[in-house]
Amino acid sequence: MTVTEQPPPQIAAVRVAELHDLREQARLGPSEQATEAQRAKGKLTARERIDLLLDPGSFREVEQLRRHRATGFGLEAKKPYTDGVITGWGTVEGRTVFVYAHDFRIFGGALGEAHATKIHKIMDMAIAAGAPLVSLNDGAGARIQEGVSALAGYGGIFQRNTRASGVIPQISVMLGPCAGGAAYSPALTDFVFMIRETSQMFITGPDVVQAVTGEEITQNGLGGADVHAGVSGVAHFVHDDEETCLAEVRYLISMLPSNNREMPPALPPGDDPADRRNDVLLDLVPADGNRPYDMRKVLEEIVDHGDLLEIHEHWARNIICALARIDGRVVGILANQPQFLAGVLDIEASEKAARFVQLCDAFNIPLLTMVDVPGFLPGVSQEHGGIIRHGAKLLYAYCNATVPRISLILRKAYGGAYIVMDSQSIGADLTYAWPTNEIAVMGAEGAANVIFRREIASSQDPEAVRAEKIAAYKSELMHPYYAAERGLVDDVIDPAETRAVLSAALAMLRTKHADLPSRKHGNPPQ
C-alpha cells in the first residue's frame, strides 16, 4: 500500500473501534476497586468533579491517551492512560474555562514528568486563550519513583502560576491531600477552596512535625480546611461537600472577567432598582460610635438582591472583603466589621484587604470601601509582628489601584486607618459620608486628654473639665461637615439614598482611565 492509498474500510472500522476502547479504558480509570476506594473516602472521581464544574457536555479533553515513559521501581509495568491527571477545557455559563483534575486512583494522583507536562500544556493554553484556569487538586505530591524529574515538573507549574497572575483568574480547589512543595501552587493562585475532613494542605506532615518538634497533631489539626480558612488564611472558601463547593466555584467564575483585558460579566438591572431607597440603614447602624453592629447586613441592604460573595469569611473577621453586584455590575467591597475587634485594622486584616484590592485592580473590578474604623490595633505583639509594613501593604495596594474607587464613611474614621481605608488623599475618586461620620486624628476622649492634659490635671474638677474639653473638641473638629468643608468629602448623603448614590457614581466612573508610571514593577512592602 502506498502512502496515498487508504486502508480498506474494514481496517478503518477496526481502528475506530480500537480508539473507542482506549477512550473507554481512560474514562473508566484503573479499576472498579480503585473507584470504590475513592468513594469510600467520601470523594468523587476526577471526571465526576469536572462534570459538576462545567456546563453539561462541554468538556473537551486534551492528551487523554498520554502515558509516562519512566522505568524502574516497577513503573514500566504500570502505564495507565492519562497518567493520573485529566486536562481540558469546557464552559461555565457559556464562557470558556480550562481545568485540570488529579485522579487519585492512578498513582495516588502523584505528579510525574508526563503528568506535569500535561498540566504545563493546559496552563499555557489558558494563558494564550485568556480564560480562567481551575485546578481540582487531589494528589500525593511528587512521584517518588521519578525523582528529580517530578520536582522539575512542579517548578514548571509554579512558573506558569506566576506568569498567569493578574492575567487570568486562577482557582485552586483542594479535594484531597496536598503536601510538600505541591502546596505552593495553590498559594500562588487567586482563590483556594477546601473541603472539611477531606482536604489538607501542609509543607511537612504530622509525622515530620512530631519527629522534629515533638508536637503531636492530626492531619486536619495541622492543615485541615478550618485551620486554613480561620487561622492561616490560606483558604478563601471552605465547604462541607464537593457538590456545594463546585457550585460555589461556578458562582465565583460568574463574577470574574475571563482575563485582565475584559470587564466582569454584567447582568441586566433586573427587578432591583438602582435607586431603591435604604431606609432600614438608619436602624441597622447605631449613631453611637461605640455600639457594634453587623456590617454585612448593611452591605446586603445596598447590593443587588442582598447577594454577597464574601472572601476569606472566617479569617481576619474585623474586615469584610466581598464581591457583589450593584445595578447588575460587579463591584469589590471592603468594609470594616464593628462586630469583631470593633472593626480595627491589624496585621491580618491589612494583609487580607491588600490582596483583595490587588485582585480587584488586576481584573478591572471597581472598589467600594465602607469605612467605620477606630484605628490600628495597638499592642506589643502587633508592633513586633510588623504592623507598620503589613499596614503599608494595604496603603500600597490602594495607591497603586487604577480601577474606579469610591469610599463611604459611615461613622468613625480615625488616624492613620482613615488614610489607609482609601481616603481621598490617597486617590479615591469619590468620597461620601453619612451625617453620623467622625473623621479625626483620634477619638475626642483621647484628643482632649492629650491637648488639655495640664489644664485637666490642674483643675479643681478634672472630670468636669475633661467632659467640657471633649465636647469642645467634638464641636470644633469632629462635626459631620468638617471634612466636607475642606473638600476631603465630596458629599454628605442621606443613608437612605446610599444605593442610589453609589450606583450613579459607579456608572459615571465606568469609563475611567488611569495610567501608572512606566516601570518594570513596584517594590511593595513585604
CA angle 368, 249, 303 (to 5 degrees): 30
Length of the chain: 526
CA proximity to 499, closest of 347, 365, 302: 302
Q: Are 96 and 68 in contact (CB under 8 A)?
A: no
Active site residue 152: no
Among 518, 519, 412, 382, residue whose Cα is nearest residue 474 = 412
Rounded to an integer, what distance in angstroms lies between the CA atom of residue 394 and that of residue 401? Answer: 11
Segments of 109-220 assigned E as strands:
133-137, 170-174, 177-179, 191-195, 200-202
Per-residue DSSP letter, 232: I
Burial zone of 489 (CB within 10 Å; 0-12 exposed, 13-18 middle, 19+ buried): buried
Q: Catalytic pick from 108, 156, 180, 427?
A: 180
Q: Are strands 329-336 and 367-373 parallel, antiparallel or unpaired?
A: parallel
Strands 308-311 and 319-326: antiparallel
User: Do the beta carbons of residue 99 and residue 60 sit within 8 Å?
Assistant: no
Give the count of beta carbons closer than 10 Å to the beta carbon of residue 394.
27
Burial 324-361 (b: 16+ CB within 10 A, else e): bbbbebbbbbbbbbbbbbbbbbbbbbbbbbbbbbbbbb
The three grid cell numbers given for residue 162, joined into one nine-digit string: 506566576
**CB contact at 8 A, 281 and 297:** no
Q: Which of the residues 181, 233, 328, 386 is marked catalytic?
A: 181
**What secondary structure letter does DSSP report for 230?**
I
Annotated catalytic residue within 101, 316, 392, 417: 417
Bridge partner list, 87: 62, 100
- 416 is known as an active-site residue: yes
DSSP 449: H
| C-alpha cell belonging to residue 279 | 431606609
Check 108, 147, 230, 416 and give the catalytic one.
416
What kind and span of H or E run contains 111? none
Active site residue 180: yes
Burial of residue 423 (CB within 10 Å: 0-12, 13-18, 19+) is: buried
The answer to whether 226 and 174 have CB atoms below 8 angstroms apart is: no
Which one, of 269, 301, 308, lies nearest residue 410 by Cα? Answer: 301
Residue 314: is it exposed, middle or buried by C-beta count within 10 angstroms (0-12/13-18/19+)? middle
Q: What are the residues whose beta carbons fall under 8 Å from the beta carbon of 244, sequence distance 6 or more?
A: none
d(Cα 105, Cα 110) in Å, to the nearest integer? Answer: 10
Catalytic residues: 180-181, 416-417
